Amino acid sequence: MNNDILHFENELRVVITPPNARVDFVNELGTQLLNFYPARKTSRVKNFRLRPAWIVVLSIIALLTAEILLIGPDKVYAEFLKLFGYIPGIGIVDQAQPIRVLAEPVRVTRDGVTVSINQAVLTVENTQIDFGYSGVPLSAYPSDKSIGCMEREYLRLPDGSTQDINAPFPADVNDATFVLPCIFNTLPNTVPTDWEISISFIPLPEETTVLPVIELTPDSSGTTPTVDPASEEDTAFEFNEVIETDDGYILIGWFRPHLAEGEKIQVNSVQYLDANGKNINSIDYPEDIDLSFSGMPFGVDDSQWAIQFKASDVAFPLTVRYTGNVYSLVDQSSPLEFEFDAGSDPQPGQEWVLNKDFDVAGITFRLVSIRAGEDGYSFQFESDPKLDGPDVQIEGYQAIGGGGGPHTRSLAFEEMPTGKLKLLFSDFYPLKETRTWEGTWQPETLPSPQPTAASISPVCLDANSYQTLPTLPEGLEGWMLLTELNPEMQLVLQSMDGEDVKLTIPQANHGSLSPDGTRLAYPSEAGTAIVDLTSGQTTTLLNIGSYYDPHWSPDGKLIASVNPSTDYGIFVAAVDGSGSRQLTNLGYESIAGWSPDGSLLYYAIPDASGKSFMLHAVNVNTGSIHDLFILEDSSRKAPYPAISPDGQWVAYRASDNSSLYLKGMDGSPARLLLDRPATAISGIVWEKGSHLLGVSLITPETSDGEVILIQFENCEVYKLPDLHGELDGIFIP
């Protein structure tokens, strides 16, 4: 018997003693036992002869299987879980294996581009390197169909050999060079290349906190489906594991809607409520947890989740509530067909208005219009009842991409289809019902004391208090600048009570009011337009270009804006268009505002850590740039940072895109000001006194936006019910 077989036999023997079970083998075998019970059947097979080594191996496997069946697969799985622990910042690890981590994060900056090695975890099975980069200008990426650099990163060992970044790393080597040949998809000679960053690995420090991953029994979870459950056994929520942290819990589980054949769901909202009906404001989604570690199978529309929260914020039990639309597939014998003539040379933007009605198994389906794009077509439709779908194809053409929303579908092609085209519509999913699922959980031992509704530290506004929000009292006069979206996009300058409209600019958006309230700047096709609100005259700064996100300097003499094309970056110029200067060169900066003296311009860009945005400051006179601080838990899509005119605060949108933080410009911890009062935040603006903060919110009832005013010092919040749109400016005389 060779050494490999002896080694395998020893490992199998160890498995039989649960506390020291080898995780990979028991996991695989345990999962099979838990999920698969094949029926016995007989079949004729050829006689063959086993080699002695395999006889021993299979005998041990049979013995192990008998042991697991005797103990019970659930108990084996429970023992298997004991091998796992959670390390904050690293994730769930097998404690039986040696683990190495990055000695310290490393950041290297060259020509304004930063590459950051944030974390590394090395096990006997693989290597995980978490890295990121920031400061790459948009001009470095292709603007057409060409492709930039695709060379992959790798690790170079001290002996000069190289290996894949995810391959197991030699156990006797603790140093490496992280080699990044190029920033992914960047063009030649645009940003630095050939990055070589020295990194070191150390054993997981002994003082590292390893928190146990505790399996939850069925009694630890409860589910209350509120609409017609398929059966009493069909629980939508499963609470599988819990990790007790220093200040709360990480809860891991599944959402299983148990849909019928031909059904699918679209989850519209997710809520986490405590026993007082309060939205839990400390809910976070730990990114260091790999949800695939359980190995559990997925069903139709099943989803696994992990949430983290503070115990002090929750009066147990915790309720998880999902609300969504259930769609049911129409039994369709063949696709719906429609022919139209696109002509021999369809032009981008060309539109065919059709308003063609069809009946699909009692569904009224209207093909409203077809519009040509650069490399394909988009289709607008209406339906009664509401549809999730349908699928669209052009017969004889294979799409290479596409997308769509509730009432649109789009297709992209290698070559533009032309001439007479046959459209095929299939997979019609009409809305069947809106359904709500709930599950409740609480720890076996409740934390003491349990918070009450009165004892919980309040935010200024959450989903519950938003429903009873008072309207703005009489006496406060001023003007609000909004980008209205319905029935068509336009800039509107409107009184706070909504009764007076001072100015309307069709087909314009995202303007900015001067500090004294006498002028309005907005991006136009010809350049940056400036409207004198007293005389009504408009001038266009042709040499500034068609930039966006205009911000006036405190003295009203300069305008900063972002150029997303050609030259890229933030530019600043005098209001007469003279003295235009380029301050940055990225093209995706989010301008946050000016310092009170006008010497600094603040902006935010995604940080190399990949977790939040970093706030930067650029000196308008010297061009020098320095980092300020991370906007913790900020939106990764767009934080909408807004510096108060007195330079004391920055308000920004949170990672859930529907909450709002207020952070001191001294870098002090951020305060949660709004806790998910609506679906999303679409605008954040300060008034000049730095006491009132205006926020526009997208709600389920008003998709084009509602507006609120917050006096953050005392948490007074008011709704402006007659204003709708995305908030761009506030002026209070």
Whether 616 and 627 have beta carbons less than 8 Å apart is answered as yes
pLDDT digits (tens, 9 = 90+) for 422-436: 999 999 999 999 999
Section 501-510 average pLDDT:
92
Q: Is 80 exceeded by the pLDDT of residue 728?
A: yes
- Whole-prediction pTM value? 0.69
Q: Name the nearest CA neighbour of 455 among 313, 271, 316.
A: 313
Distance between CA 616 and CA 601 in Å, rounded?
Answer: 8
Per-domain residue ranges for the chain?
A: 3-37+47-82, 100-203, 211-328+433-441, 336-428, 461-731
Contacts of 655 (CB under 8 A, 6+ apart): 612, 633, 634, 635, 636
- Cα distance from N-terminal residue to C-terminal residue, the chain: 92
- Mean pLDDT value across residues 106-124: 94
Which region, left, alpha or beta, applies to residue 502 given φ > 0 means left and ψ of -120 to 50 means alpha?
Answer: alpha
Instruction: Give residue for tokens 């980008």.
Output: 483
Render pLDDT for 437-477 as a digit per residue (tens, 0 to 9).
Answer: 999 999 988 887 776 655 555 689 988 889 899 998 887 88
Average pLDDT over residues 38-63: 35
Instruction: Output the pLDDT for position 277.
Output: 84
Convert the pLDDT of each residue in 233-272 to its tens digit: 458 999 999 999 988 999 999 999 999 999 999 888 888 9
Given a cut of 90, whether residue 673 has pLDDT beyond it is yes
Q: Is the pLDDT of residue 559 over 60?
A: yes
Higher pLDDT, 166 or 10: 166
Say what the pLDDT of residue 568 is: 86
Q: Are 611 and 594 in contact (CB under 8 A)?
A: no
The answer to whether the CB of 678 falls within 8 A of the CB of 421 is: no
Q: Which residues, 6+ apart, have CB-to-CB distance to 514 below 8 Å?
A: 520, 521, 552, 556
The H-or-E segment that residue 512 falls in is strand 512-513
Residue 546, pLDDT score: 62
What is the average pLDDT value for the chain, to the nearest integer?
84
Q: Which of 141-150, 213-222, 605-614 has the lowest mean pLDDT?
A: 213-222
Per-residue pLDDT for 30 more than 50?
Answer: no
Q: State yes or no: pLDDT of 140 exceeds 90.
A: yes
Q: For a pLDDT cut of 70, what percent of the chain falls above it? A: 83
How many C-beta atoms surround the C-beta of residue 112 within 10 A? 15
Q: HSE of 291 in the Cβ direction (CA atoms, 13 Å)?
A: 18
Q: CA-to-CA distance for 311 and 307, rounded, in angstroms?
A: 12
Cis peptide before 458 (omega within 30 of 0): no
Query: Which residues on neighbouring strands pair with residue 253, listed in sequence order?
Result: 239, 305
Structure tokens at 388: 């999730």
Better pLDDT: 313 or 455: 313
What does the DSSP 8-state code read for residue 164? E
pLDDT of residue 280: 80
Q: How far apart are CA 492 and CA 482, in angstroms?
A: 5
Q: Is 90 exposed, middle or buried (0-12, 13-18, 19+ CB in 10 A)?
A: buried
Q: Which CATH number fits domain 211-328+433-441: 1.10.1060, 2.60.40, 2.40.50, 3.30.200?
A: 2.60.40
- The secondary structure of 296-319 as a DSSP string is PPP-TT-EEEEEEEEGGG--SSEE
Banded pLDDT at 400 (limits 50, 70, 90): very high
pLDDT 10s digits, 581-613: 999 999 889 999 999 999 999 999 999 887 799
Rounded-to-integer distance, Cα 530 and Cα 521, Å: 4
Closest-CA residue to 83 (of 34, 21, 33, 31) = 21
The Cα-based distances of 480 to 43, 483, 713 in angstroms read 80, 10, 21
- The dihedral sign for the CA sequence 563, 566, 569, 570: negative
Would the pLDDT of 578 be above 90?
no
Nearest CA to 694 out of 475, 469, 496, 463 is that of 496
CA distance 235 to 238: 7
pLDDT at position 547: 80
Q: Judge contact between 75 and 232, C-beta under 8 A.
A: no
pLDDT bracket for residue 32 (50, 70, 90): very low
CA distance 472 to 154: 59
Residue matched to tokens 């934080």: 639
Domain 461-731 belongs in CATH node 2.20.25.10: no
| Alpha helix segments (H runs only) across 384-504 | 463-466
Integer angstrom CA distances of residue 293 from 81, 253, 301, 558: 10, 12, 19, 55
The tokens describing 212, both together, are 């146990």
Phi first, then psi: give them for residue 559, nearest 5 degrees: -130, 125
Is the pLDDT at 372 greater than 50? The verdict is yes
| Statement: residue 285 has pLDDT above 80 | yes
277 or 78, greater pLDDT: 277
